[in-house]
């Protein structure tokens, strides 16, 4: 079917980014090792997967609050940049400086990223982060916990956040990978959003077809996830939940940068209710719009092309992935 509309919720979306960053993106014609490369464009943005979700939610005209540890001059700049975009910030002061990342976006769409490790959080800072999430989640429709964990946080940290969120009656979306994802599954997050590589890593085997990804998503549900929103890159997205499974894809004319596209997709999914084919259509529309924008610019409603999205409950299980994951 053609996706022409989405169902929009009304509640605030809280994001949690344990390892935020200050991101500098440079547009370059091509990377040549050892050469001086002149950038044709540059941007500086607040970074981190949860931060990007908040930016996409705000660009859609919805209220969002971003919880994140911030330290040093880079942290202060991240807070200022978010405030300028109309995003409420609930900062957790930390002693270490917020990390700075660099992304090089080539004209053919290839992206090279250099990510710094970030500060190590003390036991006191870790507890303050959890307490801030609890305080800010009281009127949240969704809590989106996203990204890698900084030094100092145990792999079980996200599991603790999920448990506390459910105890407070909130729904939680989780976008992380590796052991942090596996640990959190036991607390039954409402939705997890792996990409193809993260999905393959979680089940411990390669993915060559959409059917392989579907089976892996079903396994994650068996491990505790209530729903799985799996991004398969240029091939589309899968949604697997109690009500069924759907596959969606979109026409994309020109890829400029995929920085934050997955985060924009998660934002689209949550602002459209966080379940069912209409939310999946919104996710794909937001992701497709994001890759056609420079750097980590988040799409506004004017950038979306819902008519370019198709959703079906007939998952093309035999379709080979454009980039198989081994």
239: Cβ–Cβ under 8 A, 6 or more apart, which residues?
A: 227, 228, 229, 230, 245, 246, 248, 276, 277, 279, 280, 283
Taking the C-alpha atoms of residue 85 and residue 285, their distance in angstroms, rounded to an integer, is 21
Q: Are 212 and 230 in contact (CB under 8 A)?
A: no
Taking the C-alpha atoms of residue 42 and residue 64, their distance in angstroms, rounded to an integer, is 26
Is residue 263 flagged as an active site residue?
yes
The CA–CA distances, whole Å, from 271 to 51, 267, 281, 285, 286 equal 15, 6, 12, 12, 11
* Per-residue DSSP letter, 257: -
Taking the C-alpha atoms of residue 244 and residue 35, their distance in angstroms, rounded to an integer, is 51
Q: Which residue is catalytic, options 23, 175, 212, 263?
A: 263
Pairing mode, strands 228-231 and 237-241: antiparallel
Active site residues: 263
């Amino acid at each position: 079917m053609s996706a022409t509309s989405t169902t929009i919720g009304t509640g605030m979306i809280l994001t949690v980014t344990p390892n935020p960053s200050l991101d500098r993106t440079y547009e370059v014609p091509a990377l040549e090792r050892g050469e001086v490369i002149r950038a044709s464009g540059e941007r500086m943005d607040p970074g981190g997967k949860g931060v990007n979700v908040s930016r996409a939610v705000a660009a859609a005209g919805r209220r969002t609050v971003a919880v994140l540890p911030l330290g040093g001059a880079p942290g202060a700049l991240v807070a200022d940049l978010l405030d300028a975009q109309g995003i409420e910030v609930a900062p957790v002061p930390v002693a270490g400086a917020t990390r700075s990342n660099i992304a090089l976006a080539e004209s053919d769409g290839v992206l090279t990223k250099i990510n710094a490790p970030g500060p190590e959080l003390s036991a006191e800072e870790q507890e303050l982060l959890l307490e801030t999430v609890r305080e800010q989640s009281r009127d949240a429709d969704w809590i989106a916990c996203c990204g890698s964990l900084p030094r100092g946080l145990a792999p079980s940290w996200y599991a603790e956040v999920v448990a506390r969120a459910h105890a407070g009656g909130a729904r939680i979306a989780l976008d992380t990978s590796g052991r942090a994802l596996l640990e959190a599954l036991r607390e039954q997050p409402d939705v997890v959003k792996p990409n193809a590589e993260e999905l393959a890593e979680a089940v411990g085997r390669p993915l060559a077809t959409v059917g392989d990804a579907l089976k892996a998503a079903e396994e994650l549900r068996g491990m505790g996830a209530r729903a799985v929103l799996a991004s398969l890159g240029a091939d589309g997205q899968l949604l697997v939940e109690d009500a069924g499974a759907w596959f969606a894809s979109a026409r994309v004319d020109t890829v400029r940068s995929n920085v934050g596209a997955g985060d924009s997709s998660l934002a689209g999914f949550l602002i459209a209710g966080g379940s069912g084919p209409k939310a999946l259509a919104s996710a794909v529309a937001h992701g497709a719009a994001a890759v056609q924008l420079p750097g980590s610019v988040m799409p506004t409603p004017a950038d979306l092309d819902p008519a370019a999205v198709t959703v079906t409950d007939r998952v093309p299980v035999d379709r080979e992935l454009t980039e198989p994951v081994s």
